[in-house]
Structure 1
Amino acid sequence: MIETSLSVINKPGGSYGVALAYLSQFSGDAHRVMIQTSTPLTAYATGQIKANYFEFTPIANLISEPIAFIVRAESPIKTGRDLADRLRADPASVSISLAAARGNAYHIASALIARAVSADIKKLKIVVFNSSGEAMAALLGGHVDVLSVTPGNFLPMLQAQKIRIPAVAARERLGGPLAVVPTFREQGLDVVFDVPRGFIGPKGLSADQVRYWDGVFQGLIKTDEWRQALERNQWVEDYRNSADMGKDLKAQYEILKDVLTELGMVK
């Protein structure tokens, strides 16, 4: 699909701020693209990223990862409605673990559950860990009640019945081992939020440059290797071209900004 070699450059830090600062040096250069998710949208809304995020060029969104709410097997929280009812009665009565920062997609999804039952989202008991593995360890150890996370890495624990998933914040039921897990919508709660995974490019890419990358990714999603990766990781294929991805990013940004403002995180 690409007739030249690829190099992966890791630019961690600043909630994608370091990566975006690097990308901004190459205006109009389609030889550099960045894998991205909703994290820079949060960072832009909260002022952590100073560059105008929407000046970068959306190229394609490939997948969305559903956000699941996981409990221990013996937890009294049996359903998504149970979780919502507890939050309505007392938002601080349920400790919700997540990685790796407040205000991220997992925090937003938690807040949307509370919002759905008119609970005060500022009173949620959010416990932040450095990784989802640490958050899961805390859950299994009984130190927190719920884990908000993308579930792909924890399917063996689900199949071993060490954990349960009362609900997933997806538009519709997922496949594979997660087919038995109901959505929040099935349980009467309008909670849909996921983690998109896609690519953006530097500012100022031309229509021809964007079409080139669209062709590359359109070819990728037709391969057997891609289908296997979707199934293995429980990803939801959610291909959007540049124009549609741009619209979706702006729509998600408005949701993020609205919730973050209510949380007092927008300066």
Structure 2
Amino acid sequence: MKITRLGAAVALAAGIAAPAFAQTEIQDPECVAPAQPGGGFDLTCRVAQAGLESVLGEPMQVTFMPGGIGAVAFNMFNTTRDDDASAIVAFSTGSLLNIITGKYGDYSPEDVRWVATAGADFGAIIVRADSEYETLSQLMDDFAADPSSVVVGAGGSVGSQDWMKGALLLREAGASPMEMRYVAFDGGGDAIASLLGGAIQVYTGDIGEMVPHLESGQMRILGVMAPERLDAPFDEIPTVMEQGYDVEWTILRGFYVGGGVSDAEYQAWVDAFDAAYQTEEWSQIQHERGLLPLDLSGEELEQSIEERVQVLREVATEAGLIQ
């Protein structure tokens, strides 16, 4: 893959003030969202598509590769596309959980190269606008009385991060997570469609993916799983914790490339994100998409991933997901 960099020295030689970053051109840039359109991976790629526009030499294409909540893409970028430097793949904390619990096969977090983050997202408890559940406490009461009476659904199988959100709620209600009546979908978009269609009662999704749906009035957010209230447009939504339930779920959103991508090609992507992080446009896009600033790239992100994986292994072991 051909990758070139346009240095700030060009601008200086022309007598023009150099920008605060060096512009990077990556040939045929692509962001792979490993699910159907409409969910969190789609959101993550849209952040990159819009946020990197000012630093990439050409528009970024977003493509969808559903299958196994990211497993198909992870396997492809460890085999036939492991050295494809033109593409980044969206991931989340849930992806890390799936890797360490074996849902992505025998590959490990060390088999790919972690490039950069799009920001932080948080879990959310979502129902239809006409749901019988007007408050989180009403839902928690039913979880405590009869967990199987509530149909919960999300984009991920048992043991996924969306399942973990529901499991933590049931545990807080005094019930066993294994009693949860859970329906797995291949992505957030499918789960939202099923919620609106009445196939499930509760969607344990992410707050960021709710941005396009807030004005429609079709759904109600019972609580956000953040440490404290978020800024507008979510400032009127109470946290789960302030409603008396000790449950929090922070989601890291970001991108990786295949393990066969060279150091120079990998660094080109890191440079592009570092440049974008310095722009007002990036902050605005994060805000509009419901993400909180969390700008990590390169070695700093690699270190963060290593630490997060260690914590997730401990949680997954406690939940009986891994031995």
**Unaligned runs of at least 5 residues, structure 2:** 1-22, 33-62
| Residues 185-218 of structure 1, C-alpha deviations (whole Å, 9 max, x = no match) | 2122222213322123444889887665443212
Q: Distance in 1 between matches of 2:91 and 2:238?
A: 28
Q: CA RMSD in A?
A: 3.4
Change (3 A) 1:76 1:250: farther
Greater RCO (CA < 8 Å, at least 6 residues apart) = 1
- Residue 124 of structure 1: how far off its partner (Å): 0.6
Which of 45, 52, 60 is the aligned partner of 2:116?
A: 60
What is the CA-CA distance between 1:30 and the residue it aligns to? 6.7
1:139 aligned partner: 195
Instruction: Call closer, same or farther: CA 1:93–1:174 in 2, change over 3 Å.
Output: same
Q: Deviations for 1:80-99, whole angstroms, at most 9, x for unmatched residues?
A: 33333322232222211212
User: Is 1:66–1:236's contact at 8 Å kept on the other side of the alignment?
Assistant: no
Structure 1 position 35 matched with structure 2 position 90: yes
- Calculate the TM-score normalised by the size of structure 1: 0.80
Residue aligned with 2:153, SS: strand
Distance 1:158 1:3, change over 3 A: closer
Are residues 200 and 117 of structure 1, via their aligned partners in 2, closer, same or farther at CA, if it must alter by over 3 Å? same
How far the C-alpha of 1:73 sits from its partner, in A, is: 2.6
Take 1:115 and 1:192, find their aligned partners in 2: how far apart are those partners?
13
1:101 is aligned to 2:123: no
1:149 to partner: Cα distance? 1.6
Change in CA separation of 1:18 and 1:152 when aligned onto 2, cut-off 3 Å: closer
What letter matches 2:101 in structure 1? T
Q: Partners in 1 of 2:82 and 2:127 — Cα distance?
A: 46
Cα offsets for 1:143-200 (capped at 9, x unmatched):
4221112244544643343321110112222222211101112122222213322123
What residue number does 1:85 align with?
A: 141
| 1:7 corresponds to 2:29 | yes
Greater Cα offset, 187-196 or 238-247: 238-247
Who wins on radius of gyration, i.e. which is larger?
Answer: 2
Say if 1:257 and 1:78 are closer, same or farther in 2 by CA, change over 3 A. Answer: farther
In structure 2, the residue corresponding to 1:62 is in which secondary structure?
strand
Equivalent residue runs for 1:209-220 within 5 Å: 213-220=269-276
Change (3 A) 1:34 1:94: same
Moved more, 30-39 or 158-167: 30-39
Deviates further, 182-191 or 135-144:
135-144
- For the pair 1:225 / 2:281, whether they are aligned, the reply is yes
Which residue of 2 is the match for residue 110 of structure 1?
166
Give the share of equivalent positions with the same residue, in percent: 28
Q: What TM-score do the two structures reach when normalised by structure 2?
A: 0.68
In 1, the alpha carbon distance for the partners of 2:124 and 2:172 equals: 16
Pick aligned residue for 2:102 from 33, 42, 47: 47
Separation in 2 of the partners of 1:200 and 1:44?
13
Q: What is the correspondence of 1:235-254 to structure 2 with a 5 Å cutoff?
A: 235-254=291-310
Number of matched pairs: 267
Q: Does 1:171 align with 2:193?
A: no
**Going by fraction, where is helix more abundant, 1 or 2?**
1
Gaps of 5+ in 1: none
Q: Letter of the aligned partner of 1:167 in structure 2?
A: G
